[in-house]
Amino acid sequence: MNNKVRSKVQLATLPMLLMVAALTGCASTNTPGDPLEGMNRAVFSFNDTVDRVALKPAAQAYEKVLPSFVQTGISNFFGNLADVWTGVNQLLEGNGANGASDFTRVAINTTFGLGGVLDIATEARLPKHKSDFGVTLGVWGIGAGPYVVLPILGPTNLRDTAALPVDSYGDIWRYKYPVRWRNVGYGVRLIDRRAQLLDAGTLLDDAALDKYQFVRDGYTQRRQSQVDNAKQ
C-alpha cells in the first residue's frame, strides 16, 4: 500500500485519536496500556449485565432448540460472507497468497456449498483465515493505542475502534435487502457467535479472579498475535 493511501487513513482516524486522547485525560490510571481503566470497567460491567440478562439466555435457548447441524450451517454461512472481507484485508496487508485462498474459499463454498452453508473449502484443505481492517492498520505500522471497552461491542483498542466504520462497510451482510431480513440476520449472527462462546464463558467465570483483567490481557495478546502473523 503506497504512502499516500496510508496518510489518508491516518488522517481519517485523527478525530477518533483526539477524542480518546481527551477521554484519557479524564479517566487515567497507572495500568500500562489501559489509561481508561475506570471508564472501561464501568462499560465492562454494563456489558456483562446485558450478557447475563439477554445474550447468554438467548444463546442457550438457541443451542438447545436448534440441531447442531443447523447451527453449523448458520456459522458457515456467515463465515463464508466474512471470508470476502478477510480476503480484501489479506491483499491490503500484502498477503497475496492468503487473499487468493480466501476468495477461492468463497467461490467454492458459495457454488458447491449451498451458498456457504456447507464448508466444502476446508474439506478441500483451503485453510480459513481471519483478518479485519484493524489488523491491516497494524500491519501498516499504526499502533494499537489504549485499550477500550465499547458498549455491547466489548473489548477493543483505539486503532480497532477507528477501523470499525471501515469494517462495517466491508461487511457483505450490510447490503442485504429488504432491511428487515438484514436486521434478522444481524440478530441471528450475534446469537450464533455468543452460543459458540458458552463453554469459554463458563471457564472464564470459574477461572478468572478478575474477569476484566483476564479479558483485557487476552484480547491485547490475541490482537498483537494477529498483527504479527499478518506481517510474516
Three cell numbers, residue 34: 489501559
Are 173 and 189 contacting, i.e. CB atoms less than 8 angstroms apart?
Answer: yes
**How far apart are alpha carbons 62 and 71 in whole angstroms?**
8
Average pLDDT estimate for 123-144: 97
pTM of the model: 0.84
Sketch the domain layout of the chain as residue ranges.
Answer: 39-48+56-231
Burial degree of 5 (CB within 10 A; 0-12, 13-18, 19+): exposed
Cα-based distances in Å from 219 to 25, 45, 98, 161, 212? 23, 17, 24, 14, 11
150 DSSP β-pair partners:
154
**What confidence category does residue 171 fall into, taking pLDDT thresholds of 50, 70 and 90?**
very high
The predicted-structure confidence for 2-37, as pLDDT tens digits, reads as follows 555 444 444 444 444 444 444 444 445 568 899 999
The predicted-structure confidence for 41-87, as pLDDT tens digits, reads as follows 999 999 999 999 999 999 999 999 999 999 999 999 999 999 999 99
**What pLDDT, on a 0 to 100 scale, did the predictor assign at position 207?**
65
